[in-house]
Structure 1
Amino acid sequence: MGEGTTALAGARIIDGTGRDPVDGLVVVVKDGLIQEVTRRPPREAVVVDLDGRTLIPGLIDAHVHLGLSSDMQGLVTGQVSAAEIAASIFRCAEQALMEGFTTVRDAGGIDAGVVRVITSGLMPGPRLLVSGPILSQTGGGGHYAPGWEPVCVWESRDLPGLLGMSLLADGADRVRGAAREAFRRGADFLKLMVTGAVLAHEDELEHTQFTVEEIAAAVQEARARGTYVTVHAHNNAGIRNALAAGATCVEHGSRLDEGTAAAMAEHGARLVPTLAVVHQLIDSAQDVGLPHTVGVRAASVLDGMRDAIKIARSAGVLVGSGSDLIGPDQSRRARELLYRSELLGPMAALVAATRDNAEILGLADRVGTIEAGKIADLVVLDRDPLDDPRAFADDVAMVVQSGRTVLARV
């Protein structure tokens, strides 16, 4: 698909809205947009017969770390060269696109230079929204350095234009400065670490990080730019601190309870759980470049994260979908949809990874559903994922991004 009018015909269409699948319709694409969804292709259209396959919107991953696609231990200790880091980032970005993820939100790591390379077409990859470097307190969840290393060494590992893992800040004024620096580097939104993390060396998941005043300084800077703050948070105290400060999105939320979920709903905050990375670390933290103990920590949050999805939905919280995969092997990103399908069924998993994620990313008027006027981000699957959700990860036959075919196996 390229210039001119193309009609995708013969597929079962699951449009991402949650409505039942429809057979017999034709999706007409022109100038990178969905022109119409109709019964008959226009006379001038080039017809692509999808022959009984399934057509879904381009998938969206609301929590990725393309910049953390190297061996993690080597990365945080400075043992991976800039060339290797760059190669891994662009390989990972292309892989995400070829697996049907036409848009992703990078929640910490890559710099605006990566965005420019992909947006310009120099290298293939999904549409990107990025937080730039994570904001973390000293010794917090985003400060991955070994305990013996002086704080001043940490940010010297940044690779301008490519990778900056985190900015360390203590006190509201320093958080404000770090927020401004993240935006100067091209951040679309901010991410703060407000509780302990599975990957952290010294803190515990029960710990809270950053005060309400500190978080509020970042929120104020984000609002001044018409955007938002999302927070890494496992425990309820950290989530409530973030809500009090005005944050509007929560990543992980593995210890979410009913009261805190109700508070999230009241504040209009969203939740992005991340089941795939938990399974990844449980299966083999060593493959990521992390010690076995990290897998043990990951196992401690799995059941809670599953429960959090149900608790949040029951409270009326919009629940998105993020894989959070790290390390060299970030393949089969759609495993997140498989794990969500086990909880809520494949239709709910698809809607979370399309329409709902588009809403969380602020792109609901542009992507996320198959509707006239939306950008033509489309994925063709060989099998119906409602019958077997493994099709999300294993049966991608065609990927269309902005009306251009980037993968075709049909």
Structure 2
Amino acid sequence: MSTANTFRIEVSQSVLDDLQERLQKTRWTDEPADAGWNYGTNPAYLRELVTYWQKIYDWRRHEAMLNTLPHFKTEIDGTGIHFIHVKGKGPNPRPLLLTHGWPDSFYRFYKAIPMLTDPAGQSFDVIIPSLPGFGFSDKVALNTDQVAALWAKLMTDVLGYEQYVAAGGDIGAIVTKSLANQQPDRVSAIHLTDVGYPTGQEDWATMSAPEQEFGRYIQQWWYTEGAYNMIQSTKPQTLGYGLNDSPVGLAAWILEKFYSWSDNGGNIETCFTKDELLTNIMIYWVSQTINTSVRSYLENARAAWSGTPSPSAQYVKAATGVSVFPAEAPMPVEWAQRMANVQRFHKMPKGGHFAALEVPEDWTGELRSFFYSL
């Protein structure tokens, strides 16, 4: 058994002072008239948020809140991994591994933790690692199959769980699929909010009409919304210089995704408070991990181009629950069944890409309903 040491988030005051100085010296761009969110991040909202960041937001308060959770660090195959491990109530909580995506962090799940650990009859031991290259894990960019191999050792060698369930969305969904295929005897079931998307390499003749429609939707989405993925999958280092140097640039890059991918009806604060948006941004800023987080896209692209069969791309035989939230891509059940052994498929009434943060009651209810129905 490997060991894990307790960990506290302790950001030096010099980092916070430097941040304030950078915010004060922001060189703002010109702005199109009535830009709104039509050109990217809304200039008026960004200025409003930055003013709040300077004058009201209190990192120390949020740092203290985060430190009420049990944080740990361990080293697996030479990579330092940060994780949260909260034991569930009751006699037999089920181990549940949650994996976040980009551009969020372990913070995605902070509202869900008490909902998953508290009900004594249907509770979970909740394990939430920070992806390598994100937050307080080591600054190294790995592909999803490499991450899944680390998670396998985290759950068995470090924490000693013989069997467990896992869930995730975005990058976390792909890691979870890979983990289920790498450890089929240990991962008893998984829950996903997406299962991967059509790439254009599929045999079109074998796809149902809803799958073909979904494929066309995804193709159009890449043309209109996928520029971030293209640059992060090809030239991430060029992007990283600006995002690591400018807090306003970092905020703009992340905010646009929180707006575009959430079920907010045109007002981002119907889904997230300013404090939540800024705390997630701050985790990237104080850890200086935005560069490695975006570089992970290139590592995944290289793995895909290598021609080597990937566990994350293979059909998942483990029992799988899928919840589709309305602000996500409109995945049909036929596509989900093509990718995994779907035992539960549910279209949700509200929520989006960051469902655990947007609608935590609905998201945790989906996990509990699925995992405790098996």
TM-score when scaled to structure 1?
0.29
TM-score when scaled to structure 2?
0.31
